[in-house]
């Protein structure tokens, strides 16, 4: 067996089993007593319901994860990627079109495999707990729009990578990095609102108490808010959220309609104060910088992988091509991506504490604590996550730790 194939199989197995163990630990930790900070968020009936919800979701995750793992291992072992490669080459022999069709076919296959799990998650589990508001028509149009975006953005990225590789060979990673950086900047300044509008209706927040409170707060702390939108998140789910977007001096805030329905106006301002904290502590620019550096490192490693033609043989393909090299790279990158993900989560949790501390400094500690409790209760959040699971997988600190720190700040 090809040595690279063995390495890839070992990497994928280690990754899969580590994640599985974490999920199982998290499931077994549900028997634990919730920490004092989070007691009283649910009554006994809701608490049992929240645990059943976590169990249903993690069961679905375990089954779909196992199926995905077995399929991928089987595809690698039986050289199924060579088969996809042949089909794509029969459609188009031009290397760029060949690569695009190859990834198109893989994407389509992956989407079809995950479809039954998506349907079960949305229409069975989310329905059972009263979260789902998606109907068949919304689900279908979301799918079609998702495919359109994947073809447009994914196709553009692959086109750009293969094109620069053909022009510059090994050094393609430099011009490709420049172009990818432009795409990252465009997406983080205008792109996210355009994409949000593609899936949802965004309307300006109506004049009233909430709008006034938001503007008063934004002026007080000098947070340059330009537009405040309300998004019809309720069309899909009763779960609530908020975020802000935009680089430099133009900030746009998006509040889910469900957030406004569930929280008092002071609690919404507290959520916004938390977002302002991310801005004031330069988290957005720091994360942007990191993602640009990271994409440069990835592209450099990709060009190293592309200069090893033997990698193609690992997939049973007997000629060298960009798309097979890219596939090999993505699979070999698994352990690095695991470590980067872990590191990213550690930093993200630190940023969340800092944004919470900023909220407290500007006088909204108890309103934020109430908002977090309300949202956790509404979303049937897990009150007893396993510490190891939190360490590896949580981008936000667990609720008990966040509330604990907020309470300290109120005093
Ligand atoms: Zn945050």
Q: Does residue 22 surpass a pLDDT of 90?
A: yes
Return the pLDDT at 224: 87
Distance 3 CA to ligand 1 centre (A): 43
Asked if the structure places residue 253 within a domain, the reply is no
How many Å apart are CA 143 and CA 322, to the nearest integer?
Answer: 28
How many Å apart are CA 96 and CA 111, to the nearest integer?
Answer: 22
Summarize pLDDT for 230-266 with one digit per residue, the tens: 999 999 999 888 887 777 677 888 999 999 999 999 9
Q: Does residue 304 surpass a pLDDT of 60?
A: yes
Distance 48 CA to ligand 1 centre (A): 28
Return the pLDDT at 411: 54
Asked if the structure places residue 288 within a domain, the reply is yes
Two structure tokens written together for 109: 């296959």
Catalytic residue among 37, 126, 275, 398: 275
Two structure tokens written together for 150: 């994947």
Two structure tokens written together for 183: 């795409």
Mean pLDDT of all residues in 57-69: 97
Catalytic residue among 85, 126, 352, 356: 356
Cα separation values, 123 from 25, 132, 368, Å: 27, 7, 32
Q: Quick check: is 370 catalytic?
A: no
Distance 214 CA to ligand 1 centre (A): 17
How many Å apart are CA 334 and CA 16, to the nearest integer?
Answer: 10
Two structure tokens written together for 260: 């406004």
Other beta carbons within 10 angstroms of residue 158's beta carbon come to 19
Task: Please report, rounded to a whole number, the percentage of residues in the chain having pLDDT higher than 90.
Answer: 84
Distance 338 CA to ligand 1 centre (A): 22
Beta bridge partners of 251: 225
For residue 166, give every residue at least 6 positions away whose Cβ sits within 8 Å of its Cβ, in sequence order, or none. Answer: 95, 96, 322
Q: Quick check: is 356 catalytic?
A: yes
Asked if the structure places residue 261 within a domain, the reply is no
How many Å apart are CA 282 and CA 190, to the nearest integer?
Answer: 19
- Could you tell me the pTM of the whole model? 0.90
Find the domain containing 109 and state its range.
3-201+281-410
Mean pLDDT of all residues in 99-126: 95
Two structure tokens written together for 298: 């990835």
User: How would you classify the pairing of strands 242-245 and 251-256?
Assistant: antiparallel
Give the gyration radius of the chain's Cα atoms. Answer: 23
Distance 170 CA to ligand 1 centre (A): 39
Return the pLDDT at 116: 97
Asked if the structure places residue 276 within a domain, the reply is no
Distance 239 CA to ligand 1 centre (A): 17
How many Å apart are CA 129 and CA 380, to the nearest integer?
Answer: 9
Do the beta carbons of residue 265 and residue 213 sit within 8 Å? yes
CA dihedral 223, 228, 234, 238 (to 10 degrees): 20
The secondary structure of residue 352, as a DSSP letter, is: H
Distance from chain centroid for Cα 321: 30
Number of domains in the chain: 1
Q: Does residue 138 surpass a pLDDT of 90?
A: yes
Mean pLDDT of all residues in 265-274: 95
Asked if the structure places residue 221 within a domain, the reply is no
Asked if the structure places residue 373 within a domain, the reply is yes
Beta bridge partners of 252: 227, 245
Asked if the structure places residue 175 within a domain, the reply is yes
Lowest mean pLDDT among 18-27, 125-134, 240-249, 330-339: 240-249
Distance 274 CA to ligand 1 centre (A): 6
Beta bridge partners of 202: 231
How many Å apart are CA 132 and CA 141, to the nearest integer?
Answer: 16
Asked if the structure places residue 32 within a domain, the reply is yes
């Amino acid at each position: 067996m090809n040595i690279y194939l063995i390495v890839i199989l070992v990497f994928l197995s280690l990754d899969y089993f580590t994640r599985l163990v974490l999920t199982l630990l998290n499931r077994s930790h549900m028997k634990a007593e919730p920490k004092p900070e989070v007691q009283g968020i649910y009554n006994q009936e809701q608490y049992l319901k929240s645990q059943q919800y976590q169990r249903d979701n993690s069961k679905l995750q375990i089954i779909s994860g196992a199926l995905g793992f077995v399929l991928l291992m089987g595809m690698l072992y039986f050289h199924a990627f060579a088969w996809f490669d042949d089909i794509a080459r029969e459609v188009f022999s031009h290397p760029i079109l060949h690569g695009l069709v190859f990834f198109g076919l893989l994407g389509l296959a992956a989407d079809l495999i995950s479809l039954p799990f998506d349907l079960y998650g949305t229409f069975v589990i989310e329905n059972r707990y009263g979260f789902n508001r998606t109907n068949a028509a919304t689900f279908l149009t979301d799918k079609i729009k998702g495919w359109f975006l994947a073809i447009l953005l994914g196709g553009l990225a692959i086109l750009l990578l293969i094109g620069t590789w053909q022009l510059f060979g090994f050094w393609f990673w430099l011009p490709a990095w420049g172009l990818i950086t432009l795409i990252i900047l465009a997406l983080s300044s205008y792109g996210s609102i355009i994409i949000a509008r593609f899936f949802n209706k965004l309307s300006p927040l109506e004049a009233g108490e909430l709008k006034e409170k938001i503007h008063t707060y934004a002026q007080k702390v000098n947070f340059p808010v330009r537009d405040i939108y309300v998004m019809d998140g309720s069309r899909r789910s009763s779960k609530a959220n908020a975020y802000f977007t935009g680089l430099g001096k133009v900030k746009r805030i998006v509040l889910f309609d469900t957030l406004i329905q569930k929280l008092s106006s002071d609690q919404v301002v507290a959520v916004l104060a938390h977002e302002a904290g991310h801005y004031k502590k330069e988290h957005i620019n720091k994360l942007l910088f990191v993602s640009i550096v990271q994409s440069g490192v990835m592209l450099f490693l990709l060009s190293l992988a592309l200069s090893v033609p033997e990698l193609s043989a690992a997939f049973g393909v007997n000629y060298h091509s960009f798309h097979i090299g890219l596939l090999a790279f993505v699979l070999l990158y698994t352990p690095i991506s695991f470590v980067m993900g872990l590191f990213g989560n550690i930093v993200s949790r630190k940023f969340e504490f800092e944004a919470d501390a900023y909220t407290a400094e500007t006088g909204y500690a108890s309103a934020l604590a109430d908002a977090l409790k309300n949202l956790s209760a509404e979303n049937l959040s897990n009150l007893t996550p396993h510490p190891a699971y939190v360490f590896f997988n949580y981008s936000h600190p667990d609720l008990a730790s966040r509330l604990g720190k907020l309470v300290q700040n109120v005093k």
